[in-house]
A = this chain, B = another copy of it.
Amino acid sequence: MQDILPQIRERLENSQELAMATVVRTWRSAPRPVGSALVVNDQGDMIGSVSGGCVEKSVVNKALKVLGGEPSELVHYGVSNDDAWEVGLSCGGKVDVFIERFLGSGSEQEQALWQQLDQDLANNRGVVLAREVGAGHRQFALAYADGSAVGELPDAIMVAALAALEARESRIMESEGGNWFLQVFPEKPQMLLIGSAHITSELIHLAKLYGFATHVIDPRDTFATKTDYPTEPDSLTVSWPQEILPNLTLNANTYAVILSHDPKIDDEALKILLRQPVAYIGALGSKKTHAKRIARLTDAGFSDDELGKIHAPIGMPINARLPQEIALSVLAEIIKVKNEVPA
């Protein structure tokens, strides 16, 4: 749904009544992942997609009925091989699509919930939109990582919502009181780039492509501002790591890449990052450079266990030579760490 947010906002501002169809479950090679959404106004104009063309016509018809006052509906679509061939999709997928009046076109209470969700998304705050998927049911709530919620939801659903948020994965929760769809809008992962250089520039481009918010930190004004960024980082702070890092949220959503080549900068960043629960710390440099770094940090009181958290040599071993290739190896390693199932 996030991909069509700007268009949803525009239509709501123009007072259009909207219905929304959401992929809530998929089997095999379904064309669009869980959470994909299609929004329809009372003219049948569509934004977004639930299947890449395969079942959209049927979905729009049902959405128009919902806008006409009929209850919400959970519809199962099987995509036969023959159909799949016709519409250019992978073969044999199946999807469940929930079709309902859109939250922001609902009751006053629902509209307030939408305002809150919309604001959370704008602020990159992780949130779960939990809703009951059943004919005519209208139960919604928002759940947050700190255990707080807006709206009412059963305890078991709250627990499941927090698990879904942790796993960054939207899913159906089947329960006795009714099935709930837990739609996760995770916080974007944050990439900290300590040091501004060619590799920084290449990595920003790739990382943004893969959904990371990118933050460059370099105290050297000329490096920070004269580096050529064909893709601009989300933020660029001309500051020493020890000045700025203590003010940032450093958590399991943080991926730090140490790139400055200057121990005066890199070491200070590591001293802070190594004692925060960040997901990833990778440091550029040869084995020799890293050995010297380990010696300095050991002298500074860091244990082998702590220093073992540093990925060095950085990146997946792909024989990278060019800065662009090193950036690829680093992003690949970060995706690997990001997707590791916790033991």
Q: Which one of B29, B261, B319, B336 contacts A339 once the chains associate, using CB atoms below 8 Å? A: B319
- Taking the closest CB of chain B, its distance from the CB of A338, in whole angstroms, is 8
A336 vs B315: C-alpha distance when bound (angstroms): 12
Cβ of A91: which chain B residues have Cβ within 8 Å of it? 261-262
The answer to whether the Cβ of A187 comes within 8 Å of any Cβ in the partner chain is no
The answer to whether the Cβ of A27 comes within 8 Å of any Cβ in the partner chain is no
Q: Which chain B residue lies CB-closest to A221?
A: B88
Interface centre among A226, A320, A335 (most CB of B within 10 A): A335
Q: Given contacts A198-B90, A226-B88, are A316 and B339 in contact (CB under 8 A)?
A: no
Q: Determine if B332 and A261 form an interchain contact, defined as CB atoms under 8 angstroms apart.
A: no
Q: Determine if B335 and A197 form an interchain contact, defined as CB atoms under 8 angstroms apart.
A: no
Q: Determine if A226 and B329 form an interchain contact, defined as CB atoms under 8 angstroms apart.
A: no
Cβ of A197: which chain B residues have Cβ within 8 Å of it? 90
A220 vs B329: C-alpha distance when bound (angstroms): 34
The answer to whether the Cβ of A156 comes within 8 Å of any Cβ in the partner chain is no
- Taking the closest CB of chain B, its distance from the CB of A342, in whole angstroms, is 12
The answer to whether the Cβ of A244 comes within 8 Å of any Cβ in the partner chain is no
- Taking the closest CB of chain B, its distance from the CB of A23, in whole angstroms, is 14
A88 vs B321: C-alpha distance when bound (angstroms): 22
Q: Which one of B88, B220, B318 contacts A316 once the chains associate, using CB atoms below 8 Å? A: B318
- Taking the closest CB of chain B, its distance from the CB of A50, in whole angstroms, is 15
Q: Which one of B86, B87, B331 contacts A328 once the chains associate, using CB atoms below 8 Å? A: B331
Cβ of A13: which chain B residues have Cβ within 8 Å of it? none
Q: Determine if A88 and B328 form an interchain contact, defined as CB atoms under 8 angstroms apart.
A: no
Q: Given contacts A29-B261, A316-B316, are A85 and B335 in contact (CB under 8 A)?
A: no
Cβ of A227: which chain B residues have Cβ within 8 Å of it? 88
A341 vs B53: C-alpha distance when bound (angstroms): 46
A322 vs B209: C-alpha distance when bound (angstroms): 13
- Taking the closest CB of chain B, its distance from the CB of A269, in whole angstroms, is 18
Cβ of A322: which chain B residues have Cβ within 8 Å of it? 33
Q: Determine if B86 and A222 form an interchain contact, defined as CB atoms under 8 angstroms apart.
A: yes
Q: Which chain B residue lies CB-closest to A331?
A: B328
Cβ of A329: which chain B residues have Cβ within 8 Å of it? 332, 335
A28-60 contact mask (Cβ, 8 Å, vs B): 1 or 0: 010001000000000000000000110000000
Q: Determine if B325 and A328 form an interchain contact, defined as CB atoms under 8 angstroms apart.
A: no
The answer to whether the Cβ of A317 comes within 8 Å of any Cβ in the partner chain is yes
Q: Given contacts A261-B90, A261-B91, are A316 and B340 in contact (CB under 8 A)?
A: no
20 additional A-B residue pairs with CB within 8 Å, beyond A87-B226, A90-B198: A29-B261, A52-B228, A88-B220, A88-B223, A88-B226, A88-B227, A209-B324, A210-B325, A210-B328, A316-B316, A316-B318, A317-B336, A319-B338, A319-B340, A319-B341, A320-B339, A325-B339, A328-B328, A328-B331, A328-B335
- 5 smallest CB-CB distances across A and B, nearest first, come from A88-B226, A319-B339, A318-B336, A88-B222, A332-B332
